[in-house]
Amino acid sequence: MIYLPRMSRLTRREWSAIVFGGLAAAPFSRLRAAAAAPDSTVAGVRLGTQSYSFRDRTIDQMILNMAVIGLTYCELWQAHVEPKNFPGATTDAEKRQALRTWRESVPLEVFKRIKAQFDRADIKLTAYNLSFRDDFSDLEIDRGFEMAKALGVKVITASGNVTTAARVDPFAVKHRIPVGFHNHSDKRPNEFSGPEDFQEAMKGRSKYIAINLDIGHFVAAGHDPLAFLDAYHDYIVSLHVKDRKRGDTQGNYPFGQGDTPIVAVLQRLRDKKWDIPVNIEYEYEGTDTVAEVERCFNYCKQALKGTSK
């Protein structure tokens, strides 16, 4: 039997030596047996990451990296699950059809195995990010909810079209899983950017059509995320946190260097006790992904330990 010290005493280098030295297949529960169950909740706010932050890594590497950093909540990006290549598919139309076929027929056991990976790492999946769009078949949409169930999540997030909400709503009602639509900074027809887009998508829909608010994109588009949070917190199922500058539709910045009121938003969640998962989304040009996500995590922790202004 191999004795391992408490996780809190392991340096990143020691951890890497352990997992890459042959114990990567060992259950994380065994590696953490001597430590209390980890939890990246700070001052009542669940801090996690959108796995897109680790877009340069496989899902296995991403899980290991999250364990190193100490993040225990994750919104799983679809590209960490779906195939990247389909043999024989060369044109965009062929690739889209191949992906559609995969979504409509992939065994749900694939998603159950992924859930088991996160369970072994003591990481809780808070949402599956599957971006429903107008070109989805009804079966693709329905299967998306089945995938979410297999992953054990109660929320789907989607960078979808505004008009897609009408098609998604009956499936969301059927499966009783809310879909939080995600905003971007550039205002384009039938895409989510500002408050009016969310209002249009939710008008006349069930309670299952919800909001995945990206506060960085919201600022870049010229909107106030704190005011929107105050007004719509009951409809927000996930927050994406990044730092951007007002009116800048291109740049992403290290936390604290843009105009996004990250500190105020986090402290509002803390003070109001609004239980909305906070997902770090690392997009700026940094050095090492693990180091930058950890830097973002530390920034958020410090914000939550501070005093409201």
How much is the pTM? 0.89
Architecture of 36-305 per CATH?
Alpha-Beta Barrel (3.20)
Candidates 231, 238, 236, 248; CA nearest to 283 is 248
pLDDT at 19: 47
Residues in the chain: 309
Query: Could you tell me which residues are beta bridge partners of residue 253?
Result: 243
> Mean pLDDT of residues grouped by 10 in the chain (309 residues)?
33 44 44 65 98 98 97 98 95 97 98 98 98 98 98 98 98 98 96 98 98 98 98 98 92 97 98 98 95 98 85
pLDDT at 22: 38
pLDDT at 143: 98
Q: Where are the domains of the chain?
A: 36-305
pLDDT at 210: 98
pLDDT at 35: 54
User: CB neighbours of 277 closer than 8 A, spacing ≥ 6?
Assistant: 46, 48, 73, 75, 126, 127, 237, 238, 239
Which DSSP string do the residues of 215-273 spell out, in sequence order? HHHHHHTT--HHHHHHHHGGGEEEEEE-B--TT-SS--B-TTSSS--HHHHHHHHHHHT
pLDDT at 309: 56
